[in-house]
Structures are given as C-alpha cells and as structure tokens.
Chains A and B, each alone.
Chain A
Amino acid sequence: MSRQTKPWIKAEQKLGFRAARLPVALGAVQVVFGIVQAGCAARLLAAVLHLARGGGTALLYGVLFAAAALARAYTQMQAERQNFELGAAARRRLRGNVLSVLLALGPAGLRGRHSADLAATAVDRVEAMDGFHARWIPATQMALIGPALVGLVALLVDWRSGLILLVAGMFVPFAMAVAGIGAGVAAKRQFVAMTRLQVRFLDRIRGISTIVLAGRAADEARALGAAAKELRERTMRVLRVAFLSSTALDLAAAAALIFIVLRFVPVMHGALGLAPVALFMVLLVPEFFAPLRGFAVVYGDRMAVEAVADEFSALPPAPEDVPPADIRAVAAHGVTLAFENVGFAWDETRAPVLRDLSFKVGRGEILLLTGASGAGKSTIMDLILGFIAPQDGRVTINGAALETLVPAARTRMLGWIGQKPVIFAGSIEENIRFARPSASEEELWDAVRHAHLEELVNTLPQGLKTPLGEGGFGLSGGQAQRVAIARAFLKDAPLLLLDEPTAHLDPAVERDVLESLKHLAAGRTVVLATHSTMAMDFAKSAGARRVDLDALRYASWRSVPV
C-alpha cells in the first residue's frame, strides 16, 4: 500500500459517512420498529399464558405487532434502496473524477500506462467501490446505533437485563482485541488468498495458448492444483485462529440469552407480573446482535477497497487550469510554427531528449523530421500538441507562445495523423464525424471522397452506417488510415502533424495513402516525422525542409533544404 492510499480511504470514508445519513436514519427507525414488535410479541405471549390481562388488549397488541411488522418491512425496503443510491452516487462521482482527470491529462500525462488498465480503473475498480459505500458505511453506523438503541430500551425496562446485553456487546470487541485478532483478519486473509489465486489463474488462462503450444497443459493443470492446495493450507491455518473472533460474537449472544433467562429464575414464582418483561428481554437478544452480525458480513467490502485504493490514490492530480496570460487571436488559415531553443527531458534523472532545438516552418511549408527511434520525433509532436511543455525555450504559433493560447483555439488549429488511428465503436460515419460532429452531410461526403474512402463505403451494405470495431466490420490498416485522413479533412486545421503515418502499411498501400496525404497537405503547414523512404521521397517532391535529429542531436540547429 502506498503512502497516499490511507488518506485516500479516509477521505472516501468521510464522504461516505456524510452521504449515509438518510439510510442510517431509516436503519435506526427500523430498529425502533423491531423493539416495538418484540414488546408486542412479549405482551401477546404473556396473554397466551393467561398471566396478563384479558383478550381485548391481546387483540390490540396483535394489531400493533402487525402494524409494526409492516412498517418495519417498508422501512427496511426503503433503507435497502437508499443504500443502493449511496453506492450509485459514489460510483458516479468516482468514475466522473477518474475520467475527468485522465481526459484532462491527455496521453503524455499517462506515459507508460496501458489504456486497458486505465479503463479497468474507470470501470471495474469503481464498481468494486460499490460495496464500501452501499453496504460497509451504513453497516458500520448501524453496528453502533442498533445495539445502543436496543441496549438503552433494555436498560430502561429492566436494568439488569440491559446490563447483561451491554456487557455482552462490549465483550465482542474486547474479546477480539484480547485475542489480538481484530474483526478483519479472517476476512482480510481470505480476501488476499482469493485475490492471489485469481491473479495466478487469470495469468495462466491468458497464456493458455502458449502453454498448449508448448505441450505443457497437463503439467500446468497439476501446478495450478498444487498452488491452490498450498494456498488453501496456508490460509486455513490463519483462518482457524481468525474465526475465533466470529465465535466471540456467537458466544456473547448465547451467554446473553442464558444469563437473561437465569436472571428471571429467582423472581419468577414470586412476581408473575414480570412475564411480559422477561419475554421482552429474551426477544431483544436477537435484535441486539443482528446489526453486529450485519457488520461482520460486510467486512469483505471494506477489504475490497484496500485492493483498489492504490490505483485511485496513485492517479495524478488534475492539471491546474492556468488562465492564459495573453489571449491572442490566431489567423484561421496559414500558421507559422517555430521552436525557439527548446529543451525537454522526460524526467530529471534522464538525459534530455531535446536540447536547444530551433526550427521554423512557414505557412504552407512541409518540415520533414527524421532520426532513429528515440531521437525525439514523438516528443516534438507532443510538444506541438501541447501534451507536454518544454523546460527550456518556447514553441510558438504565429509568434505566440503555445501556452498563452486558449486551449480550445489551439486545438482548433491542429490536425494530426499517427501510426495507427484509433477506430471507435460506432459506424464509419460516427468515426469520421468524430472530428467535427456538427459537419454537414455535404462536408462529410467531401471528406470521404478526399480520403478515397468512397469506393469502400459504396461496397458496404450499410454504407457509411456500417458499424466498425468489435463485432463490426474490420478495417485494414490502410482503410483505417484513410478514416484518419477523412477526419483530418473534416477538421480542416491549418497545422497538420503527421507522425509516421505509413509505418504499418504495405508498400502498395503506403503509396496510395501518401497520395491522399499529399492532397490533404496542400495549403497547410505540415510537420512529417517518418522512417519510410517512400514517405521521405514524397516529402522531398513536395519541397520539404528536413531536420535530421540524429545529426542535430548535440548541435544547435540547422535547416537543410533537401
């Protein structure tokens, strides 16, 4: 568990307790109805024994008992629904926070984290927090309030029995503490054991084809069985001791019952009027211990938090919104991009990727960035995109430093195509419109035509409405890249960044895609990073200037017309 985890759980707990007031109040009301019921039942039973008054009152108590039971059923139902709402609200809040932070940080802030893992935080880990808010928080409160209410009534009606109950109630945590166990150990060990087994199992299942193809399936099945056995034996050793804490609860409940019965023995024959009281006290015993049992049941929900809290607390804080110092209007068409003595390192312990880099791309020009992988091509792209900020120097657009531009205005100016475009679940149309949802039908079709997607779209039975992604039509690498090009056409940004746009394509497809890109590049300021000779030739033919990052690594800068 990391250092920030505990405060994070504390903060969640505080939020949870504050939100849980209504369901806890309902829970308390429910306990009160329970006490009323026990009282009525005791009276009724006393009447049955012909010890109390006549039948008329018995009927009254019968009606009261039924009414209290109905009211209690209703309150309980409402409390259950309110508890769900607690969990739902907490999940909504957590998921909103996680996604807002991740979306605000952008790709550079999450370097090294896999998107599937982050999605697991936003989906599964948030779901795992449900039990904490919907069950554990109310149960914790009720474990105090419930016995306190029942104990108080018992004290008022028959102080000796009340004392027995309260002592038995105190004994529960006391016994746990004396045994040095703590209520959670059993649940915790069991939870940890299950998690370990599950992780190992998931890992082996994910790699099952590797195991099968290595001809080791039988061995691994045996190993899996052996691991489960070892885990069981180790866990059971702990559990055998830890279950003693649950036993403390049983012991307290049984002892309380017996002592209350015995407490009435000496007085019974002398004072028959005690009958309703004696029966009332006996019936209160289960009421007294029910909330404590309820608390023991939800301990697993508390444990589940420990398993996921690290991920939440390790999320970086949302970036602060620095109000732009100087808001500038930038011409909608034609921009000049310049790097002025830019230096950047991913972290302080590593050598800078870029040192004192300067170059300038005028409106309508193409800049070709070359260099081995790791030379800083993607870093330059991220700097222009504003995902990261330079430590030295500045990046300017039309003379204005990037960070002084209103983010929305900056985003409007930028077009980008990477190695492999992300295709979202949805139709082709939705994927292209992603660039500009408000685009007209005409603009959409223009983009489709310019990206040479028309032919493909026409062969598909549902045309532009054909669903893509999982379970839908699978686009080839070249087709996906055309969707990205269509997006760029639709966005119509004056500054176009091309980050190895043809790295994953076959030569024939690459030529085709470059042809479309040429069309897209016309009239825009373009930065093209590439390894491919074909793409370099394309840039040269378009009159590009070239920055060779390998050659420039430690030099200041030069711009070589190719």
Chain B
Amino acid sequence: MNPMIRIVSLWLREAGWLLLALLLALSALVAGVALMGLSGHYLALSLLGIAAAVPALLPFTGTARVVLRYLERVMSHEAIFRALADLRVWLFRGLAASAAGGLGFRRAGDALARLVNDVDVLDGVFLRVFVPLLGGVLLLPILAWVLARESLPALLVLLPFLAVAFILPWRAARAARANAARAGLAMASLRSASLDALHGLREVKIFAAEGRMLAEVQAREADLLAAQRDLVWRGSALNAWAFILAQGGILLAIGCGFFGAPVAAIVAVLVLVTSFETVLGLPRAGLLYGQSAAAAQRVVRAAEAGPPVPDPAKPAAMPARNNIVFEHVAFRYAEDRPFVFENLSLQLPEGSRTAILGPSGAGKSTIAALLLKLIAPVRGQIRLGGVDISTLPAEALRHRIAYLGQTTHLFADTIRNNLLLGDPAADEARLWAALEAAQVADVVRALPEGLDSWLGEGGATLSGGQGRRLALARTLLMDAPILLLDEPCAGLDAATEMEFFRVLNSATEGRTVLLILHRLTGVEQLDRIWRLTGGALVAAAG
C-alpha cells in the first residue's frame, strides 16, 4: 500500500472531528464566497440602476464568515492534536512490537531520532496538505453551482481553478519527490561533516585541520543550499503559473460579461477572488507532500516491520525453574554474513554468577540478544528451566530476565517514574530499598525534590556513575530471578566502575547473574568466567 495512504487511514480514526473541521472550513469558505457574491450582485444591480434593497443577508454572511472561521480554527486544531497523538502512539506501539528492541540494542539512536523527525514532517502534511486539499475538492461543486446559476459560460473559469487546485500541486509533488532524495543526502553529509569536525575536535586542533574541516562543512552546506534553491526555483515558478492562471480566470469571467451576462461577470470575479485565495497555497502544499513521501515510507516501514522473532502461536507454560542452558547454538545476522558462533554451549545454574569476557565484536552482546529473544538461533536451542525459549512468549520471558545494558536509557522524567518502569506497583518503601541496594539513596535524598526530582534537560544532573546506579536500582526493582548485565559500566572511569561492581556484588545476592564485559576490574565476585574468542567459550582463570 502507498505509505501515505496508510498514514491518512490512521487519521481517519478521527474521522468525526476531521469531518466537523472540514465542514466548518467549507461553511466558512461558502460564507466568504457568498459575502463576495452578494456584494457583487448588489453592487452590479445598483450600478445598472435597478433598484434593490440592501440584502439582509449581507451582514449575516459577514458575521457567519467570521464566526465560522473561528470555529473552524478551533475544530481543526482539535482534530490535528488528536491526529498527532494517534500517529505517535501508533508508531510507538509498532516500534515496540517490531525490531525496535533490537534497534535500541544496537545503538541505533540516530535512526530512531530520524523517525521522530519524520513524524514531525507528517504533522505538516495533515495541517497543510490534507485539510486544504479536501477543502479545495469540496469547494469545487459549490463554486460550479454558484457560477452556473449566474450564467453557464461562466463555468469556463473553473478550468483555471482546476489547474491551480489539482494539476499544479501534482506537478509540484513530483518535482519535490525527485528533489527530496538529493536534499536528504546533502543534509546527511552536512550533518556527518559537522559531527566529524566537532567530535574530532581534539584531532582537528592537534593536526591544525580547522580550516580544512570548515571548508568541508561549507562545501556540504553549499550542496544542500543548491538542492534547496533548485526546489525554491521550481516552486516559485509554479506559484507564478498558479497566479497567472487565477488572473486568467478572472479575465475570462470579465470576458463573459461582454457576452450578455454583466451581473454574472461581477459576481464571478468577486467569487473567484475569494476562491483562488483558498487554493493558491495548494501548489506549495504539493511540494510539501512530495517531500514527505520518503518520511511516510520510513515511518510505515519501521512501524509495520513485524517482530524480529515471532511469538509462538501456542506458547508453552512458563517453567518453574530458572536455570539457563545454551545447547549447540549457531547464529549469524544474515545468510551472507559469517557465523558469530556455530556451536556455542553454556550453562547458567540457578543462583550462579557468571562472566563472559571478550573483545568488542566477539559476539558477547549477541548472547544477550539471543537470551532476550531479540534474535533467534539458526541452529540449537536455548532453554529456560528445561523449556525451549522459542516456545515461550517473549514478554513473559523478559519478565524473568532483568536486563541492564550500556544503552539502558534514563528518561527525561522524575526519578520516581524512572524507577516505576521497573515495577509500576512498587510503593515508596520498595523504591527506597532499591535505591539503598544500588547505593544511590543518599544522592537522591540530597536532591531538593527527592524522588520527584526531574532528570535530564532542565533537571537534576547525575554523574555517569550515579546514573548507572539509578539504572541498576530500576533493574533490581524488576525483581526478576535472572540479571543480565551487558557492559553496564561502558564510558565510566575505572574508579567509578570498580565502585559499581562492589555495589553489584551485594545487591544481587541470590539471583542468577550473567555479566558481559570486555575485561574484569577484579572486584567482581564470580563463580565462573568464560572468555569468548573465535565463537567459542573458553574457561578463563577465575
């Protein structure tokens, strides 16, 4: 299905509101047309010397237009806000059910941020394409009726109206679609050049590359501006055409007057002035539509990707026990990629503490992803309490395994809400107990608003180590029998890292712990240590 149609079909959920907004928009337009038409009619008759009373409708249509325009604004914004919320919730649900777990897992934060941007673009489509276009469509028969009533030849002026409302926007959309790819690429290069210059600031200074980097960014910027300029040139030419057509229409209407329909001519001219006012923006809307096509495609594709590992049709009952066994597991990310491992076996008895070490890229995180059912083994089996996890529902499985990784996110929200993500039913005492166990209780207590302090932008700023410990507190709250920690200290300095593991030792007593690390600090208390090299686990001295 055309992705844009899919997006529009989402908005149709708010069909009632949308219809109301559209009807009001249309009524306001009709009132505007009537106001101009009546004025013209009255003026024409008076000028012809035909006595006519001031139409009582004149002030009425004036008032109606003003009131209807107000109501239309209110209703269309109500509809827009509803549509915005629907689109976002739909995308969120879709992502959550599809590859998003895996996406976030693989540090695809930028791809996700781009999706959010795309949704932003689509809001614009609703506001500036969808509503005015429907307005134009609905105005057409009314305009035809008004004109036909005055004189049939006056219907000719509908031709330029049709061209402005539909043909030019279509041309604009096509031009914009071709341009969008070019502009998108230029934008991406500009972003990566800027990021390179700033991310590598140290290197840039040391190798005296300031001038080179600036020139590079400016070259990418010039590409972007050229692409945008191209579109503006096309767009402005289309607008000029729209204007010329509209004026041609007016001239045509006047021409009708010379063939024996003087009153009709004046009415037609004044009606057209108002009608064209409403559709002259449509060629620009066409540009926007063309630019949004790619955004719609990305959003729909991401939201409807489907789960990476489908849940079993008839899930087995959750096992009572929590020991984990990997048996001859083979995995690769794609048919044409090499195996990450071909025959991996691992046992994690209940209550045991195990570490898997290895350099980055050895496949440590793949083990975590397999266990969480974000990916499925090509061969072999993973069992929880003796039951193959491919027969278990992912959601129930993940309630057994509390995961803390390097990408675990702290939300821009209160500390309380961040913790409640671990267990929405937790009471005050349990929250504090978890904070105590993770040894951040003192930090939180010292904040002026305690648990209700806001994290992130404009809120309390925690140090890297404190943030990790808060994430640990949340993980502990989940009360899952198995703890899976994947590089929980990435990006922290050595002293903070050591402190974290000391806390971890005491906080996780009695649970099954699997630690995935590139090296040990020496303070971890472990039963078993494996080293993952060349796709195989080798016992390391522990």
Contacts and interface: CB of A to CB of B under 8 A. Distances in A.
Interface string A170-187: 000000000000000000
B207 A205 contact: no
B456 A258 contact: no
Interface string B216-250: 01100100010011001101110111011001101
Nearest to A134: B232
Contacts of A213: 101, 372, 398, 403
Interface in B467-496: 474, 478, 493-495
A422 to B, nearest CB: 4
B115 interface: yes
A119 B191 contact: yes
B112 A206 contact: yes
B116 A236 contact: no
Interface stretch (A5-13, A275-283, A344-352, A553-561): A275-283
Contacts of B113: 202, 205-206
B84 A115 contact: no
Given A119-B194, A199-B412, A487 B207 contact: yes
A435 B241 CA distance: 54
Interface in B84-124: 84-85, 88-89, 91-93, 95-97, 100-105, 109, 112-113, 115-116, 119-120, 123
Interface stretch (A69-77, A319-327, A328-336): A69-77
Contacts of A243: 70, 73-74
Given A107-B205, A228-B81, A286-B273, A236 B74 contact: yes
Given A103-B201, A107-B201, A283 B66 contact: no
Contact of A228 (B42, B85, B123, B191): B85
Given A197-B84, A373-B495, A476 B360 contact: yes
Interface stretch (B257-265, B313-321, B375-383, B439-447): B257-265
Interface string A65-84: 11001101110110011001
A265 B372 CA distance: 82
B185 to A, nearest CB: 12
A200 B417 CA distance: 13
Given A37-B247, A69-B247, A236-B74, A49 B92 contact: no
Contacts of A457: none
Given A95-B217, A411-B208, A476-B360, A122 B194 contact: yes
Contacts of B109: 206
Q: How large is the interface on B (under 10, 10 to 19, 20 to 34, 35 or more residues)?
A: 35 or more
Interface in A210-266: 210-217, 219-221, 224-225, 228-229, 231-232, 235-236, 239-240, 243-244, 246-247, 250-251, 254-255, 257-258, 261-262, 264-265
Interface in B21-46: 35-36, 39-40, 42-44, 46
B254 A41 contact: yes
Contacts of B190: 123
Contacts of A203: 411-413, 456
A77 B240 contact: yes
A229 B85 contact: yes
B198 A122 contact: yes
Interface in A113-172: 115-116, 118-119, 122-123
B301 interface: no
Given A48-B257, A99-B217, A201-B119, A424 B96 contact: no
Contacts of A50: 262
Contacts of B187: 123
A400 interface: no
A504 B487 CA distance: 13
Contact of B69 (A77, A116, A247): A247
A422 B200 contact: yes
Nearest to B94: A221
B233 A123 contact: no
Contact of B47 (A49, A202, A422): A49
Nearest to A232: B81
B54 A265 contact: yes
A515 interface: no
B510 interface: no
B224 to A, nearest CB: 9
A92 B202 contact: no
Given A205-B116, A282-B39, A434-B207, A268 B62 contact: no
B4 to A, nearest CB: 21
Interface string B46-71: 11110100100011001101100110
Given A210-B104, A229-B85, A258-B59, A202 B192 contact: no
B214 interface: yes
A257 B62 contact: yes
A269 to B, nearest CB: 7
B116 A74 contact: no
A209 B47 contact: no
A204 interface: yes
Given A216-B421, A272-B49, A48 B265 contact: yes
Contacts of B200: 422, 424
A255 B62 contact: yes
B contact face: mostly helix, strand, loop, or mixed: helix
A210 B408 contact: yes
Instruction: Pick from A96, A200, A251 the residue with the most CB of B within 10 Å.
Output: A251
B169 interface: no
B258 A80 contact: no
Contacts of B399: 215
A18 to B, nearest CB: 21
Nearest to B208: A411
Contact of A278 (B43, B258, B410): B43
A389 interface: no
Given A103-B213, A123-B190, A250-B65, A232 B262 contact: no
Contact of B361 (A77, A99, A246, A476): A476
Given A103-B214, A434-B209, A477 B359 contact: yes
A262 B55 CA distance: 11
A418 interface: yes
A364 interface: no
B266 interface: yes
B273 A209 contact: no
A345 to B, nearest CB: 19
A257 B35 contact: yes
A477 B194 CA distance: 23
A110 interface: yes
A414 interface: yes
Nearest to A487: B207
A51 interface: yes
Nearest to A297: B281
B39 A103 contact: no
B1 interface: no
B488 to A, nearest CB: 13
B199 A115 contact: yes
Interface string A353-374: 0000000000000000000111
A224 to B, nearest CB: 6
A114 B239 CA distance: 43
A4 B176 CA distance: 39
Given A48-B254, A103-B204, A228-B81, 9 more contacts: A66-B251, A122-B194, A208-B104, A214-B421, A239-B73, A246-B73, A268-B47, A424-B196, A476-B360
Interface of B: 35-36, 39-40, 42-44, 46-49, 51, 54, 58-59, 62-63, 65-66, 69-70, 73-74, 77-78, 81-82, 84-85, 88-89, 91-93, 95-97, 100-105, 109, 112-113, 115-116, 119-120, 123, 187, 190-210, 212-214, 217-218, 221, 225, 228-229, 232-233, 235-237, 239-241, 243-244, 247-248, 250-251, 254, 257-258, 262, 265-266, 269-270, 273-274, 277, 359-361, 372, 395, 398-399, 403, 407-413, 421-422, 424, 456-457, 474, 478, 493-495, 518-519
19 contacts: A45-B257, A65-B247, A69-B243, A73-B240, A103-B205, A106-B201, A119-B198, A200-B412, A202-B113, A208-B112, A212-B96, A214-B398, A244-B70, A247-B69, A258-B59, A261-B43, A262-B54, A411-B206, A434-B203
